[in-house]
């Protein structure tokens, strides 16, 4: 978990090792590799071999830990080059991951006698018989281990729901509500002393936005994860396949005022396929790692190229720990 994403990306470029790494982080292959290792080493012959021979015992645990890295990759990856799968696919993946462990736990729990020669001959502790010891191990694999996976599935479900719905805006400071109450009371006192009510100014008519009207796809507004901004994505009327485009990201505060200066990044990935774009996106006319300026709050990006049809996930980052995402179904005209 502490290895930075760029280190994994570098590993993928190492000859042979990188090819094996990229091959095994695919969700289906990771599932088969991890559960294959788990089930094979729990066969009586392999298990007893590991218990009687220290070298095989070390090999067993190296394979357990190594296969676990690949098994957890589709869920926990922070790499943009090889991102985690989408929340919906995570639900399916976690459900599938729970089945082999439950099956193995059930076999160990309901087996009448001990499956392993090593434990049958081992000294007894806590008064447990070999079969009782085995049943306890099976129950631990069956129930607590399964709860971990189901807990992660619940997390994936609610994160999925949260992203599709978008977070609700919230005041940036607790004192906002108090200030609003003070101003409301002050306004009431002033109005009681006046002889005639003052007509409220007529709100200005919204002006048409040529850039928005000319866009082919305008995403719904999303509240950023901090709840401080509203963000939306604008794509051209025709998005060609595998050609560079310049989408626009529009950023406002909660009152709809344009955010004229911000650190901003935008990217697009295909979580179901485990990859992103083959190009590097960047804000136009803006130095790297510096705040971009736009009097209208609209930031144009270059380096966007959708190289295949399908479900794309657009992501916008506004500084640290503040982001918004959208799903976009890309169906180019051939």
Which DSSP string do the residues of 306-332 spell out, in sequence order? --S-EEEEEEEEESTT-EEEEEEEE--
DSSP SS3 for 302: strand
Given phi > 0 = left and psi -120 to 50 = alpha, else beta, which region is 256? left
Position with higher pLDDT, 154 vs 1: 154
> Which residues, in sequence order, are bridge partners of residue 234?
218, 248
Q: What is the enclosing helix (H) or strand (E) of 127?
A: none
Give the closest residue to 212 by CA, choosing from 232, 192, 186. Answer: 232
Rounded mean pLDDT, 181-204: 48
Domain boundaries, the chain: 5-165, 210-330
- Whether the CB-CB separation of 179 and 234 falls below 8 Å is answered with no
Count of residues for the chain?
334
Q: Is the pLDDT of residue 256 over 70?
A: yes
Give the closest residue to 227 by CA, choosing from 291, 176, 160, 172. Answer: 172
Q: Which pLDDT score, from 0 to 100, does residue 333 have?
A: 66
State the burial class of residue 107 (Cβ atoms within 10 Å of its Cβ: 0-12, 13-18, 19+).
middle
Give the CATH class of 210-330: mainly beta
Residue 94 neighbours by CB under 8 Å, 6+ apart: 75, 149, 150, 152, 153, 156
pLDDT category at 40 given cuts 50, 70, 90 is: very high
| Chain mean pLDDT for the chain | 82
- The model's pTM: 0.50
Given phi > 0 = left and psi -120 to 50 = alpha, else beta, which region is 250? beta
DSSP SS3 for 293: strand
DSSP SS3 for 32: helix
Rounded mean pLDDT, 79-87: 85
**Residue 256 CA: distances (Å) to CA of 129, 230, 232, 297:** 70, 8, 12, 10
Q: Is the pLDDT of residue 115 over 80?
A: yes
- Whether the CB-CB separation of 123 and 105 falls below 8 Å is answered with no
Most confident of 59-73, 162-176, 262-276, 282-296: 59-73
Question: Within 13 A of 134's CA, how many CA atoms are on the CB side?
Answer: 23
Give the closest residue to 316 by CA, choosing from 195, 191, 225. Answer: 225
Q: How far apart are CA 184 and CA 285, in angstroms?
A: 44
Residue 326 structure tokens = 């959208």
Question: Model confidence over 133-180: pLDDT tens digits?
Answer: 888 888 888 888 788 888 899 988 988 887 776 544 444 444 445 555
Q: Which pLDDT score, from 0 to 100, does residue 184 have?
A: 54
DSSP state at residue 274:
T
- Whether the CB-CB separation of 58 and 123 falls below 8 Å is answered with no
Q: Which pLDDT score, from 0 to 100, does residue 87 have?
A: 87
Residue 87 structure tokens = 């929340």
- Lowest pLDDT segment from 155-169, 175-189, 229-243, 280-294: 175-189
Q: Which pLDDT score, from 0 to 100, does residue 193 have?
A: 46
Residue 49 sits at the vertex; the CA angle it makes with 43 and 51, to the nearest 5 degrees, is: 100
Residue 194 neighbours by CB under 8 Å, 6+ apart: none
Q: Is the pLDDT of residue 275 over 90?
A: no
- Rounded to 10 deg, the angle between the 130-142 and 144-165 helix axes is 0
């Amino acid at each position: 978990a502490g290895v930075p994403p760029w280190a994994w990306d570098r590993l993928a470029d190492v000859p042979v090792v990188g090819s094996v790494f990229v091959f095994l982080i695919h969700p289906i292959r990771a599932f088969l590799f991890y559960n294959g290792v788990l089930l094979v080493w729990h066969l009586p012959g392999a298990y007893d071999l590991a218990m009687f021979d220290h070298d095989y015992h070390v090999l067993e645990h190296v394979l357990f830990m190594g296969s676990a890295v690949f098994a957890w990759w589709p869920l926990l990856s922070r790499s943009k080059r090889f991102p985690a799968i989408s929340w919906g696919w995570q639900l399916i993946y976690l459900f599938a991951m729970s089945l082999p462990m439950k099956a193995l736990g059930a076999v160990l729990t309901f087996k009448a006698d001990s499956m392993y020669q090593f434990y049958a001959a081992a000294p007894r502790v806590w008064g447990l018989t070999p079969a009782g010891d085995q049943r306890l191990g099976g129950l631990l694999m069956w129930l607590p281990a399964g709860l971990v996976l189901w807990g992660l599935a619940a997390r994936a479900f609610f994160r999925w729901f949260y992203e599709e719905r978008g977070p609700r805006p919230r005041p940036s400071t607790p004192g906002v509500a108090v200030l609003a109450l003070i101003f409301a009371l002050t306004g009431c006192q002033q109005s009681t002393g006046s002889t005639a009510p003052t007509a409220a100014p007529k709100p200005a008519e919204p002006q048409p936005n040529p850039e928005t009207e000319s866009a082919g796809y305008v995403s719904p507004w999303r509240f950023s994860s901090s709840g401080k901004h509203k963000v939306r994505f604008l794509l051209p009327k025709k998005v060609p396949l595998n050609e560079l485009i310049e989408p626009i990201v529009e950023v406002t505060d909660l009152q709809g005022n344009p955010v004229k200066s911000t650190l901003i990044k935008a990217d697009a990935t295909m979580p179901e396929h485990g990859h992103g774009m083959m190009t590097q996106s960047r804000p136009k006319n803006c130095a790297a790692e510096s705040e971009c300026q736009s009097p209208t709050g609209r930031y144009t990006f270059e380096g966007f190229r959708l190289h295949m049809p399908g479900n794309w996930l657009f992501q916008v980052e506004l500084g640290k720990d503040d982001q918004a995402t959208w799903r976009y179904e890309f169906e180019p005209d051939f």
